[in-house]
Amino acid sequence: MTPLPVVSSPPAAGRGRARWHRSVNLLPIAYLAAIAAVSIVHPLLPQWRWLLVHLLLLGAAGNAILIWTTHFAAAVLRVPADPRRAEATRLVLLNLGIGGVLAAGTVGTGWLGVTGSLAIFIAVLAHLWALATRLRRSLPARFAVTVHYYLAAAIAVLVGVPVGGWMLVDSAHRDRLVLFHAHVNLLGWVTLTVLGTLLTLWPTVLRTRMAGSTVPAAIVALPLAVSGLVQLGIGLLAWWPTMAVLGLVLFAAAVVAVAAPAVAVAWRRPPSSFAAWSIAAGLGWLLVALVWDVRLLAAADAGIARDGFHTVLSPLLVGFVGQVLIGALAHLLPMALGGGPSAVRANAAALDRYGPQRVVTANLALAIFLMPVGAYVRITASLLVLGTLLQFLLAALRLLVAARVPRVAPPPAAATGPHRVGQPWRGVSAGLVLVLVAVLAGTIAERAAGPTVPDASPAAANIGRTSTVAVAIRGMRYHPDRIEVPRGDRLIIEVVNDDDRDHDLVLATGPRTPRIRRGAAVRLDAGVVDTAIDGWCSLPGHRQQGMVLTVVPIDAAAPAGPREIPRNPEEHGDVQSD
């Protein structure tokens, strides 16, 4: 059996390591708690989606990466751990930078965001230097390729962070920069780190031997992943969709190459713990998201690809990053806290509790959320995912708090063995029931809400001129979201829903559309436009997410008879007058 890599140390050092991990692992736990809090109050936050993404990637995942890659690098290279003061300095600098970036994104202070990004850059650069120094000074090691994955991941984020700042000053290429920033950070910083860590972590979680092909596969996959990431980045910045797609396919091939030995190991020793199933489900969602992303990047326009990228973010962030992070913490925390074999088994059993129910609930609810279902069903599904996060957070916090109190008696026999999760089919059944109840509740709420309005709007007085504007719904936005129309014209809005969920359009003056299904189109008579009119989507939470538009009257001398307004779809809408 391949043991979890640890650095040999005397008992006093082991106790110091436990105190260290008890303290620093509160950081990712705290960011996960912040994610839960923001999810609850998100209708009150205008930038809640951006905030959730960065709380997870920068906060929870970023801290976990710095903490555990430092630990695993020392373990696989069999070198002494870094001085705690140096590691603590990097973590402090990282979190000061994260605080600046989050504050800037929330209140819109640009200089604070630039300063925070610089602090994050310096922290990751120092981490990269520490890893490279440790690798250079170590003797040849069988699992040294793990550290090469960490180095590549750190270089990727050092490229991705400055592009995030570039987006603030280059609006002309913002769509390409957003796609580059998201892909390099998600696939480079997070995914490469996960692939390198699974080399030794996965067989340890399964309590079995590593497959003989694991290390060779990892060695072959790393250059494949890096070359694919470079090609993907160039294709996104230049917006050569074919090149970007080929780069993404290369990266996906590297993921499959690393996953193949892991699947072979799991076939021999099936997962039985919450940690194992959570990590396995996360890798499954990664493959789903990569296939989804290939289709998305085949779009002819970077704006269309960016608008649709939110459909890839949910499986990537919630399905992959969130589940792998929580699964890894569920396995690593009990072992890092130590206390002897009985304490480790008891702590692992505490984090395993209700494991089958959590895995089934989270993954089925996420799958339903991604389907073209009604708004209320999506709400109940998202609440289930949030509930599983809260279940883990409460268990992890109890564990970290209890670890401060020394055990005076061995745990009861029923709690020994992290993989004895009781009767898993009870948990699976409970998860299925929870999902069914949530779908039923959302469906009932959907029917109770009923259609918004059976037809468009009451006809307005026609003064002889009518302007028609085409508005498309994509990526939780109206395109365009500002419509200019000559004052006194009667306005007809043709709304086409190109998004993957239902929407509507409500005007402050009263007219509104019925609920528009995916791919459907309706005409809305907005009446005569004499003053500015605000519009929004009335479905729960959609207005708070930015689904708003404005109709603005313009004063212009109008010739008699039919006329056509010059078109500028990006700024003024696709408008015609007759």
pLDDT for 110 equals: 65
Whole-number pLDDT of residue 31: 95
| pLDDT confidence tier of residue 423, bands split at 50, 70 and 90 | low
pLDDT, one tens digit per residue, over 191-242 is 999 999 998 899 999 998 988 889 999 999 999 999 999 999 999 999 999 9
Read off the amino acid at residue 277.
W
Say which amino acid occupies 267. W
Q: How confident is the model at residue 5 (pLDDT cuts 50, 70, 90)?
A: very low
Distances (CA, A) of 253 to 137, 196, 247, 283, 289: 32, 15, 10, 13, 13
pLDDT(453) > 60: no
Q: List CB contacts of 136: < 8 A, sequence separation 6 or more.
A: none
Instruction: Label residue 16 by pLDDT band (50, 70, 90).
Output: low
* Span 527-562, pLDDT tens digits: 888 888 999 888 766 786 788 999 999 875 444 343
Q: Which helix (H) or strand (E) holds 526?
A: strand 521-528
**How far apart, in whole angstroms, are the C-alpha atoms of residue 332 and residue 200?**
12
Question: Which of 104, 153, 103 lies closest to 128 in space, CA to CA?
Answer: 153
Question: Does the pTM of the predicted model rise above 0.85?
Answer: no
Asked if residue 379 lies in contact with residue 297, where contact means CB atoms within 8 angstroms, the answer is no
The model's confidence at residue 310, banded by pLDDT at 50, 70 and 90, is confident
Please give the average per-residue pLDDT across 397-418, as a whole number: 56
Query: Do 274 and 282 form a contact (C-beta atoms < 8 A)?
Result: no
Two tokens at 513? 């559309």
DSSP secondary structure, 457-493, as one string: -PPPPP-S-EEEEEEEEETTEEESSEEEEETT-EEEE
Q: Is 60 exceeded by the pLDDT of residue 463?
A: no
Task: Report how far Cα 96 is from the mean position of its chain's Cα atoms.
Answer: 22
Helix (H, G, I), strand (E, B) or coil at 132: helix
| pLDDT for position 517 | 80
Q: What is the pLDDT of residue 461?
A: 43
Distances from the Cα of 108 to the Cα of 68, 166, 168, 211, angstroms: 32, 15, 11, 50
Question: For 117-168, what is each residue's pLDDT tens digit?
Answer: 899 999 999 999 999 999 988 888 888 999 999 999 999 999 988 887 777 6
For residue 196, the tally of other CB atoms under 10 A from its CB is 29
Q: What is the pLDDT of residue 460?
A: 40
Determine the Cα angle at 152 with ends 149 and 158, to 5°.
140
pLDDT band at 94 (very low <50, low <70, confident <90, very high): very high
pLDDT the model gives residue 235: 94
User: Given a cut of 70, is residue 96 above it in pLDDT?
Assistant: yes
Residues 273-303 have pLDDT tens digits of 999 999 999 999 999 999 999 988 887 778 7
Exposure class string for 360-392: b at 16+ Cβ within 10 A, else e: bbbbbbbebbbeebbbbbbbbbbebbbbbbebb
pLDDT at residue 558 in the model:
44
* pLDDT bracket for residue 565 (50, 70, 90): very low
Q: What is the pLDDT of residues 171-190, one digit of tens each?
A: 677 788 889 999 999 999 99
Q: Are 513 and 542 in contact (CB under 8 A)?
A: no
Element containing residue 310 per DSSP (H, E): helix 310-314
Residue 250 has pLDDT above 90, yes or no: yes
Return d(Cα 256, Cα 362) in angstroms, integer. Answer: 24
Cα four-point dihedral sign 349, 143, 248, 259? negative
Question: What is the model's pLDDT at position 81?
Answer: 74
**What percent of the chain clears pLDDT 70, i.e. is strictly above it?**
84
In which residue are the tokens 């299904």 written? 517
pLDDT of residue 510: 82
DSSP state of 44: G
Does residue 573 have a pLDDT over 60? no
**Angstrom distances, CA of residue 37 to CA of 33, 44, 64, 481:** 6, 12, 20, 30
- Separation in Å, CA 136 to CA 30, 124, 360, 409: 34, 18, 44, 45
Give the pLDDT mean for 73-97: 89
Mean confidence (pLDDT) of the chain: 83
> For residues 511 and 458, is the Cβ–Cβ distance under 8 A?
yes
pLDDT at 260: 93
Would you state the structure tokens that stand for residue 116, as one six-digit string? 């925070």
pLDDT score recorded for residue 447: 82
Q: pLDDT at residue 452 above 70?
A: no
- Measured in degrees and rounded to the nearest 5, phi and psi for residue 555 equal -95, 120
Instruction: For Cα atoms 472, 473, 479, give the angle at the middle one, nearest 5 degrees.
Output: 55
Give residue 190's pLDDT.
Answer: 95
Q: What are phi and psi of 309, to 5 degrees?
A: -65, -20
Which amino acid type is present at position 517? Answer: R
Residue 458, pLDDT score: 39
Residue 524 pairs with which residues in a beta bridge? 493
How far apart CA 539 and CA 442 sit, in angstroms, is 13
Residue 17 has pLDDT above 90, yes or no: no
Dist CA 481 CA 495 (whole Å): 12
Largest CA distance in the chain: 94
Beta-bridge partner residues of 512? 506
More confident residue, 574 or 549: 549
Greatest mean pLDDT range, 69-83, 201-215, 218-232, 408-422: 218-232
